[in-house]
Chains A and B, each alone.
Chain A
Amino acid sequence: MRDPCASVSELLERYFDRDVTDQEKTFVEGHLRDCQACQDELRSLEEIQTLLKAPVDEAARQEDFAWVWQKIEKEIQPRESPSWWESLRAWLGVSSFFHKRVWIPAAVAALIVILVSAPFLMKKTPSQLDSSVVVYLESDTNNVMVYEPEKENVTVIWLFEGPDKESPT
Protein backbone atom coordinates (compact mmCIF):
# COMPACT_ATOMS: atom_id res chain seq x y z
CA MET A 1 0.00 0.00 0.00
CA ARG A 2 1.23 3.48 -0.79
CA ASP A 3 2.37 5.84 2.04
CA PRO A 4 -0.36 8.52 2.54
CA CYS A 5 2.30 11.16 3.33
CA ALA A 6 3.91 10.52 -0.05
CA SER A 7 0.51 11.00 -1.76
CA VAL A 8 -0.21 14.22 0.19
CA SER A 9 3.27 15.54 -0.43
CA GLU A 10 2.61 15.35 -4.18
CA LEU A 11 -0.59 17.35 -3.70
CA LEU A 12 0.63 19.75 -1.04
CA GLU A 13 2.14 22.35 -3.35
CA ARG A 14 -0.98 22.42 -5.52
CA TYR A 15 -3.10 22.57 -2.33
CA PHE A 16 -1.04 25.55 -1.17
CA ASP A 17 -1.62 27.24 -4.54
CA ARG A 18 -5.37 26.41 -4.32
CA ASP A 19 -5.12 24.40 -7.45
CA VAL A 20 -6.76 21.16 -6.28
CA THR A 21 -10.16 19.60 -6.84
CA ASP A 22 -12.71 19.43 -4.03
CA GLN A 23 -12.00 15.72 -3.63
CA GLU A 24 -8.24 16.30 -3.38
CA LYS A 25 -8.78 19.16 -0.96
CA THR A 26 -10.88 16.97 1.37
CA PHE A 27 -8.25 14.26 1.19
CA VAL A 28 -5.33 16.63 2.00
CA GLU A 29 -7.16 18.40 4.84
CA GLY A 30 -8.20 15.07 6.39
CA HIS A 31 -4.58 13.89 6.34
CA LEU A 32 -3.20 17.19 7.67
CA ARG A 33 -5.40 16.96 10.79
CA ASP A 34 -3.49 13.86 11.94
CA CYS A 35 -0.02 14.20 10.34
CA GLN A 36 2.45 16.54 12.05
CA ALA A 37 5.13 16.00 9.35
CA CYS A 38 2.83 17.19 6.56
CA GLN A 39 1.66 20.13 8.73
CA ASP A 40 5.35 21.13 9.08
CA GLU A 41 5.87 20.83 5.33
CA LEU A 42 2.85 23.09 4.70
CA ARG A 43 4.14 25.59 7.23
CA SER A 44 7.54 25.65 5.52
CA LEU A 45 5.83 26.43 2.24
CA GLU A 46 4.04 29.38 3.92
CA GLU A 47 7.33 30.65 5.30
CA ILE A 48 8.97 30.49 1.88
CA GLN A 49 6.09 32.45 0.40
CA THR A 50 6.37 35.10 3.13
CA LEU A 51 10.10 35.37 2.52
CA LEU A 52 9.61 35.84 -1.21
CA LYS A 53 6.62 38.16 -0.96
CA ALA A 54 8.04 40.62 1.55
CA PRO A 55 10.72 42.22 -0.72
CA VAL A 56 8.32 42.31 -3.68
CA ASP A 57 5.68 44.12 -1.60
CA GLU A 58 8.30 46.53 -0.34
CA ALA A 59 9.53 47.27 -3.89
CA ALA A 60 5.96 47.77 -5.06
CA ARG A 61 5.30 50.19 -2.22
CA GLN A 62 8.30 52.28 -3.23
CA GLU A 63 7.30 52.37 -6.90
CA ASP A 64 5.07 55.29 -8.08
CA PHE A 65 2.31 53.91 -10.29
CA ALA A 66 0.38 57.21 -10.56
CA TRP A 67 1.73 58.04 -14.03
CA VAL A 68 0.94 54.53 -15.25
CA TRP A 69 -2.66 54.90 -14.08
CA GLN A 70 -2.90 58.32 -15.77
CA LYS A 71 -1.85 56.72 -19.05
CA ILE A 72 -4.37 53.95 -18.64
CA GLU A 73 -7.12 56.46 -17.84
CA LYS A 74 -6.26 58.42 -20.98
CA GLU A 75 -6.67 55.29 -23.08
CA ILE A 76 -9.92 54.38 -21.41
CA GLN A 77 -11.51 57.89 -21.64
CA PRO A 78 -12.52 57.95 -25.36
CA ARG A 79 -14.05 54.51 -25.09
CA GLU A 80 -16.38 55.68 -22.32
CA SER A 81 -18.22 58.09 -24.67
CA PRO A 82 -18.93 56.18 -27.89
CA SER A 83 -19.33 58.00 -31.19
CA TRP A 84 -22.78 58.63 -32.72
CA TRP A 85 -22.12 55.87 -35.21
CA GLU A 86 -21.31 53.38 -32.44
CA SER A 87 -24.38 54.55 -30.51
CA LEU A 88 -26.58 54.08 -33.59
CA ARG A 89 -25.16 50.63 -34.24
CA ALA A 90 -25.65 49.70 -30.61
CA TRP A 91 -29.24 51.03 -30.72
CA LEU A 92 -30.00 48.98 -33.79
CA GLY A 93 -28.12 46.02 -32.47
CA VAL A 94 -26.11 45.80 -35.65
CA SER A 95 -22.61 45.64 -34.23
CA SER A 96 -21.87 42.79 -36.56
CA PHE A 97 -24.01 44.25 -39.35
CA PHE A 98 -21.25 44.36 -41.91
CA HIS A 99 -20.16 40.85 -41.11
CA LYS A 100 -23.64 39.59 -41.92
CA ARG A 101 -25.17 39.57 -45.38
CA VAL A 102 -28.00 41.89 -44.42
CA TRP A 103 -26.60 44.70 -46.54
CA ILE A 104 -26.99 42.69 -49.73
CA PRO A 105 -30.74 43.40 -50.21
CA ALA A 106 -30.08 47.07 -49.43
CA ALA A 107 -27.29 47.21 -51.99
CA VAL A 108 -29.51 45.48 -54.57
CA ALA A 109 -32.33 47.97 -53.83
CA ALA A 110 -29.90 50.89 -54.23
CA LEU A 111 -28.67 49.47 -57.52
CA ILE A 112 -32.24 49.10 -58.81
CA VAL A 113 -33.07 52.68 -57.81
CA ILE A 114 -29.95 53.96 -59.56
CA LEU A 115 -30.67 51.96 -62.71
CA VAL A 116 -34.30 53.10 -62.80
CA SER A 117 -33.57 56.76 -62.12
CA ALA A 118 -30.40 57.02 -64.23
CA PRO A 119 -32.19 57.61 -67.56
CA PHE A 120 -34.19 60.46 -65.99
CA LEU A 121 -31.19 61.97 -64.25
CA MET A 122 -28.92 61.73 -67.27
CA LYS A 123 -31.55 62.90 -69.75
CA LYS A 124 -30.50 66.10 -71.44
CA THR A 125 -33.14 68.65 -72.16
CA PRO A 126 -32.68 70.56 -75.40
CA SER A 127 -31.24 73.96 -74.56
CA GLN A 128 -33.81 75.84 -76.60
CA LEU A 129 -36.53 74.70 -74.20
CA ASP A 130 -34.82 76.37 -71.26
CA SER A 131 -35.85 79.79 -72.45
CA SER A 132 -39.23 78.74 -73.76
CA VAL A 133 -42.32 78.98 -71.57
CA VAL A 134 -44.43 76.61 -73.63
CA VAL A 135 -42.92 73.15 -73.44
CA TYR A 136 -45.64 71.15 -75.09
CA LEU A 137 -48.87 71.96 -76.90
CA GLU A 138 -51.55 69.73 -78.35
CA SER A 139 -55.09 70.18 -79.60
CA ASP A 140 -56.84 67.64 -81.79
CA THR A 141 -59.94 69.76 -82.35
CA ASN A 142 -58.89 73.41 -82.55
CA ASN A 143 -56.25 75.74 -83.92
CA VAL A 144 -53.90 77.09 -81.27
CA MET A 145 -51.62 80.11 -81.26
CA VAL A 146 -48.72 80.87 -78.93
CA TYR A 147 -47.67 84.48 -78.53
CA GLU A 148 -44.69 85.56 -76.46
CA PRO A 149 -44.26 89.34 -76.57
CA GLU A 150 -40.69 90.49 -76.08
CA LYS A 151 -41.36 93.25 -73.58
CA GLU A 152 -44.20 91.87 -71.47
CA ASN A 153 -43.60 89.15 -68.96
CA VAL A 154 -46.62 87.32 -70.29
CA THR A 155 -47.10 84.36 -72.63
CA VAL A 156 -50.41 83.85 -74.40
CA ILE A 157 -51.80 80.52 -75.54
CA TRP A 158 -54.89 81.14 -77.62
CA LEU A 159 -57.41 78.53 -78.60
CA PHE A 160 -59.52 79.33 -81.65
CA GLU A 161 -62.94 77.96 -80.96
CA GLY A 162 -65.68 78.22 -83.60
CA PRO A 163 -69.01 79.91 -82.76
CA ASP A 164 -70.93 76.64 -83.06
CA LYS A 165 -69.00 75.15 -80.14
CA GLU A 166 -70.61 77.31 -77.49
CA SER A 167 -73.96 76.37 -76.09
CA PRO A 168 -76.24 79.29 -75.22
CA THR A 169 -76.09 80.29 -71.61
Chain B
Amino acid sequence: MKIKVSILAFILVLLPLLTSRTFAQVQTRIRTIEASNVGSSVDPSLRDVHDDLGSLFNFTSYRLLRDESVSLTLNKPYEISAHREVSLEVTLVSQKKNSAQYRIRIRRGPSELLNTQVRLSSGRTVLVGGPKHGQGIVILALSARF
Protein backbone atom coordinates (compact mmCIF):
# COMPACT_ATOMS: atom_id res chain seq x y z
CA MET B 1 0.00 0.00 0.00
CA LYS B 2 2.86 2.34 0.90
CA ILE B 3 4.49 1.81 -2.49
CA LYS B 4 1.17 2.23 -4.31
CA VAL B 5 0.53 5.56 -2.63
CA SER B 6 4.12 6.75 -3.18
CA ILE B 7 3.95 5.98 -6.91
CA LEU B 8 0.56 7.68 -7.23
CA ALA B 9 1.81 10.78 -5.42
CA PHE B 10 4.94 10.89 -7.60
CA ILE B 11 2.87 10.61 -10.79
CA LEU B 12 0.52 13.36 -9.59
CA VAL B 13 3.48 15.65 -8.99
CA LEU B 14 5.05 14.96 -12.38
CA LEU B 15 1.82 14.87 -14.39
CA PRO B 16 1.62 18.60 -15.25
CA LEU B 17 5.20 18.58 -16.52
CA LEU B 18 4.73 15.37 -18.47
CA THR B 19 1.52 16.48 -20.17
CA SER B 20 2.87 19.89 -21.15
CA ARG B 21 6.03 18.32 -22.60
CA THR B 22 4.55 15.28 -24.29
CA PHE B 23 1.30 16.35 -25.86
CA ALA B 24 2.27 19.70 -27.40
CA GLN B 25 1.47 19.62 -31.10
CA VAL B 26 1.26 22.35 -33.72
CA GLN B 27 -0.33 22.10 -37.14
CA THR B 28 2.43 23.18 -39.50
CA ARG B 29 2.37 23.74 -43.24
CA ILE B 30 5.63 23.05 -45.02
CA ARG B 31 5.93 23.84 -48.70
CA THR B 32 9.00 23.01 -50.70
CA ILE B 33 9.37 25.25 -53.74
CA GLU B 34 11.85 25.17 -56.59
CA ALA B 35 12.62 28.65 -57.92
CA SER B 36 14.53 29.15 -61.14
CA ASN B 37 14.92 31.37 -64.15
CA VAL B 38 14.07 28.61 -66.58
CA GLY B 39 10.71 29.49 -68.13
CA SER B 40 8.17 31.81 -66.57
CA SER B 41 5.56 29.58 -65.04
CA VAL B 42 4.14 29.81 -61.55
CA ASP B 43 2.61 26.74 -60.00
CA PRO B 44 -1.15 27.42 -59.63
CA SER B 45 -1.04 26.19 -56.02
CA LEU B 46 1.46 28.97 -55.21
CA ARG B 47 -0.85 31.82 -56.20
CA ASP B 48 -1.38 32.86 -52.56
CA VAL B 49 2.36 33.46 -52.01
CA HIS B 50 3.22 34.50 -55.55
CA ASP B 51 3.07 38.20 -54.71
CA ASP B 52 5.40 37.69 -51.73
CA LEU B 53 7.80 35.61 -53.78
CA GLY B 54 7.69 38.08 -56.69
CA SER B 55 8.45 41.05 -54.44
CA LEU B 56 11.25 39.29 -52.59
CA PHE B 57 13.03 37.29 -55.26
CA ASN B 58 14.05 37.73 -58.84
CA PHE B 59 13.09 34.35 -60.21
CA THR B 60 10.75 33.82 -63.15
CA SER B 61 9.54 30.32 -62.38
CA TYR B 62 8.21 28.78 -59.17
CA ARG B 63 7.34 25.12 -58.95
CA LEU B 64 5.82 23.45 -55.91
CA LEU B 65 7.72 20.27 -55.12
CA ARG B 66 5.90 19.28 -51.94
CA ASP B 67 3.03 20.63 -49.89
CA GLU B 68 2.57 19.06 -46.49
CA SER B 69 0.35 19.93 -43.54
CA VAL B 70 1.71 18.03 -40.61
CA SER B 71 0.99 17.99 -36.93
CA LEU B 72 4.44 18.38 -35.45
CA THR B 73 5.09 17.01 -32.00
CA LEU B 74 7.52 18.63 -29.60
CA ASN B 75 11.15 17.63 -30.18
CA LYS B 76 10.31 15.10 -32.89
CA PRO B 77 12.21 16.00 -36.07
CA TYR B 78 10.32 15.93 -39.35
CA GLU B 79 12.51 15.30 -42.35
CA ILE B 80 11.90 16.44 -45.91
CA SER B 81 14.03 15.16 -48.71
CA ALA B 82 14.04 18.03 -51.18
CA HIS B 83 16.73 16.67 -53.39
CA ARG B 84 18.85 13.54 -53.54
CA GLU B 85 21.60 15.39 -51.66
CA VAL B 86 19.74 18.10 -49.76
CA SER B 87 17.65 17.21 -46.72
CA LEU B 88 15.63 19.60 -44.59
CA GLU B 89 14.69 18.87 -41.03
CA VAL B 90 12.03 20.77 -39.10
CA THR B 91 11.57 20.28 -35.35
CA LEU B 92 9.05 21.91 -33.05
CA VAL B 93 11.12 22.96 -30.02
CA SER B 94 8.63 24.96 -27.99
CA GLN B 95 5.05 26.07 -28.06
CA LYS B 96 3.14 28.93 -26.51
CA LYS B 97 -0.47 29.96 -26.83
CA ASN B 98 -0.02 32.02 -29.99
CA SER B 99 3.43 31.11 -31.20
CA ALA B 100 5.71 28.18 -31.79
CA GLN B 101 9.45 27.88 -32.11
CA TYR B 102 11.02 25.63 -34.73
CA ARG B 103 14.53 24.41 -35.42
CA ILE B 104 15.33 24.14 -39.13
CA ARG B 105 18.39 22.26 -40.31
CA ILE B 106 19.54 21.99 -43.90
CA ARG B 107 22.11 19.37 -44.80
CA ARG B 108 23.87 18.56 -48.00
CA GLY B 109 25.14 15.04 -47.63
CA PRO B 110 26.99 14.78 -44.34
CA SER B 111 27.67 18.52 -43.93
CA GLU B 112 25.25 20.90 -42.25
CA LEU B 113 24.60 24.00 -44.32
CA LEU B 114 22.30 25.80 -41.94
CA ASN B 115 21.01 25.50 -38.40
CA THR B 116 18.43 28.07 -37.33
CA GLN B 117 15.60 28.57 -34.88
CA VAL B 118 12.58 30.67 -35.77
CA ARG B 119 9.53 31.80 -33.84
CA LEU B 120 6.29 31.76 -35.78
CA SER B 121 3.01 33.36 -34.86
CA SER B 122 -0.27 32.69 -36.64
CA GLY B 123 -0.28 34.05 -40.20
CA ARG B 124 3.48 34.54 -40.29
CA THR B 125 5.60 32.66 -42.87
CA VAL B 126 9.30 31.97 -42.88
CA LEU B 127 11.00 31.35 -46.20
CA VAL B 128 14.31 29.52 -45.98
CA GLY B 129 16.04 29.43 -49.34
CA GLY B 130 19.33 29.17 -51.09
CA PRO B 131 20.39 25.54 -51.50
CA LYS B 132 20.94 24.73 -55.16
CA HIS B 133 18.38 22.48 -56.76
CA GLY B 134 18.66 21.52 -60.42
CA GLN B 135 18.85 24.74 -62.41
CA GLY B 136 17.44 26.79 -59.60
CA ILE B 137 17.26 26.87 -55.85
CA VAL B 138 14.99 25.35 -53.24
CA ILE B 139 12.84 27.47 -50.92
CA LEU B 140 11.16 26.11 -47.82
CA ALA B 141 7.99 27.98 -46.80
CA LEU B 142 7.02 27.31 -43.19
CA SER B 143 3.85 28.51 -41.49
CA ALA B 144 1.95 27.47 -38.37
CA ARG B 145 -1.74 27.35 -37.51
CA PHE B 146 -3.00 27.74 -33.92
Q: A: which residues have CB within 8 A of B?
A: 92-94, 97, 100, 102-103, 105-106, 109-110, 113, 117, 129, 132-142, 144, 147, 149, 152-161, 163, 165-167, 169
Contacts and interface: CB of A to CB of B under 8 A. Distances in A.
Most central of A92, A97, A147, A161 by chain B CB within 10 Å = A161
Contacts of A156: 56, 126-129
B39 to A, nearest CB: 16
B130 A138 contact: no
Contacts of A109: 9-10, 13-14
Interface in B108-132: 108, 111-120, 123-132
Interface of B: 1-2, 4-6, 8-10, 12-14, 17, 52, 55-56, 85, 101, 104, 106, 108, 111-120, 123-134, 137
Given A103-B9, A137-B115, 6 more contacts: A94-B5, A102-B6, A134-B118, A153-B123, A157-B127, A159-B130
Contacts of A167: 85
Contacts of B116: 134, 136-138, 144, 157
B24 to A, nearest CB: 15
Grouping DSSP codes into helix (H, G, I), strand (E, B) and loop, the B interface class, with mixed when no group exceeds half, is: strand
Given A109-B14, A141-B113, A149-B56, A132 B132 contact: no
B56 A147 contact: yes
